[in-house]
Amino acid sequence: MHTVLIIDDERDIIDSLSGILEDEGFAVLKATDGKEGLAIFEREKPDVVLLDVWMPELDGIQVLKKMRGKRDDAKVIVISGHGTISTAVEAVKMGAYDFLEKPLSIDKVLEVVSRGIGAAGKHDAGTSDFRLEVSPGLTMTKQKTIGKSTVVYGLGLHSGVKTGMILLPMPENTGIIFETIPDGERIPAYIDYVFSVGYASSVKGKSSVVRTIEHLLSACHMYGVTNLLVKVSEEVPIFDGSSIEICKKIDEAGIVEQADGIEPLVITEKVELGSLQNGKYLMAEPCDAFEIDYLLEQTKPIGTQQYRFRGGLSDYIADIAPARTFGFLKDFEQLTRMGLGTGGRINNFIILSEDEVINTKLRYDDEFVRHKVLDLIGDIYLLNRPIIGRITARQTGHVENIALVKELKKRFL
C-alpha cells in the first residue's frame, strides 16, 4: 500500500484529502504544520507528500527545501490557495514534483499522486475529452515524453510580463496539454483549440487563453515529444526569440520513449491552399520524409532568402532553433499601440529599420527565413504527431500555416 503524507494547516483540507485518498486505497499520514510534517516525513518515509505553501512559522517552501535535503527522490506536490506562475516555478525549481492550485480538483489530485508513485494512467484529470488518437499502422513511431520536470523563465513577447513555464512528463496518449495558472484549466495544443493567429499562435479553452505557443511546439516536434504538461500563465515565454533555450531545457530533462506508438500523418496527395493574397503560396505534397522549402521575399534589409530544411534533431538544433523572431520598427511600434509586443527587447527580438538591423548581430545571414521555418515546424505540430511530406511555402505566416493544418486534418485524419 502506498503512503501519502498531507501537510496543511487547514483541518478541512486534510480531512477532505484524506477521505478521497483512503477511498482510493492509499494509507494517509497527516500533519497540521511544517515541523510535525518533517518529523513524520523522516520517520515514515512516505511515497508522496502533499504540502501546503502558506503555513505559519515554517512555510511550505522551507519545508520542501528541508525534505529535498534529506531525500533527493522525495515526490513532494506543493499546493497553494494563492497560486501564481512565479510560486509554481519556484517550487518546481526547488525540487517539487508538481504544483496544484486550491480549490483542489479531486481528479487532478489523484492524477498527480498516481504519477508520483509511477501509476500514471490510473487516474486522468481530463482535458475536454481530448485524447491523442492512436491507430495501428506500418509506420508507427513510439510516443515520447520528457524524463523529469523542468522549469524556465522569461518574458512574454506580447504581454511584456516576466513569466515562467513548467514542463512535466505525462503518460501515453495524453498529448501536449497547457494548464493555466492560477485557474488550472487545461487546453490541448491541438488544432481544434486554436483561438487566434497573426503575430503568434494561441489556443483557447472555456475561459483561458495561452499565447505564443509556436516555438515550444517547434522544439517538441523535432524532439518527437507527444505527451507533455505545460504549466504556464497566459503566454509561453519568448526567451531570446528562438527555440534554442527550450531545446536546452528538454535536453536537461531528457527524453523517454513510451510503450505506445503514434501513427504519423502521411501526406499521400498534393494539398494546395487556394486564393492566397500578396504573392503567398502554401502547399503540401508526398515525400519520404519531413521537409520544408520556404521562400521569403521582402524589401531591404531582408531581401530574398530561401531555405530547405530536411533533417533531424541535430540539424534543427544547429540550423533552425537559434533563429530569432524579427520585425520592422514601424510594425513593432504598431504592436505596442495595440498592447502587443511589449516584451520585445534588445536581446529577444530582431528589430529592423528600412535599411538595416538596428539592435543585434544576425546569427545567420539568412536568419529571417530560418525563423519562418521554425514557426512552420511549430504550427504544423498542432496535429500532435509526426508529419511525413514536403511543405512548400512562400511569404506565409501563422494564418496560412493554421489553414494548412486544418486542411491536412480534414484530408488525412
Catalytic (active-site) positions: 398
Backbone φ, ψ for residue 311 (5° rounding): -165, -175
CA angle, residues 216, 218, 224, in degrees to nearest 5:
100
CA distance linking residue 198 with residue 402, whole number of Å: 10
Q: Using 70 as the pLDDT threshold, list the residues of the chain that sit under it.
A: 83, 120-129, 133-139, 155-162, 197-198, 331-347
Query: What does the pLDDT read at residue 204?
Result: 96
> Which cell goes with 396?
506565409
CA distance linking residue 9 with residue 52, whole number of Å: 8
> Which cell goes with 319?
540550423
Query: What does the pLDDT read at residue 320?
Result: 98
Alpha-carbon torsion, ordered 77, 221, 172, 120, to 10 deg:
-10
CB 138 within 8 A of CB 145: no
What structural domains does the chain harbor?
A: 3-116 (3.40.50.2300), 141-262 (3.30.230.20), 265-412 (3.30.1700.10)
CB 323 within 8 A of CB 363: yes
Give tens-digit pLDDT for 24-46.
999 999 999 999 999 999 999 99
Give tens-digit pLDDT for 221-262.
999 999 999 999 888 988 889 999 999 999 999 999 999 999
Query: What does the pLDDT read at residue 155?
Result: 66
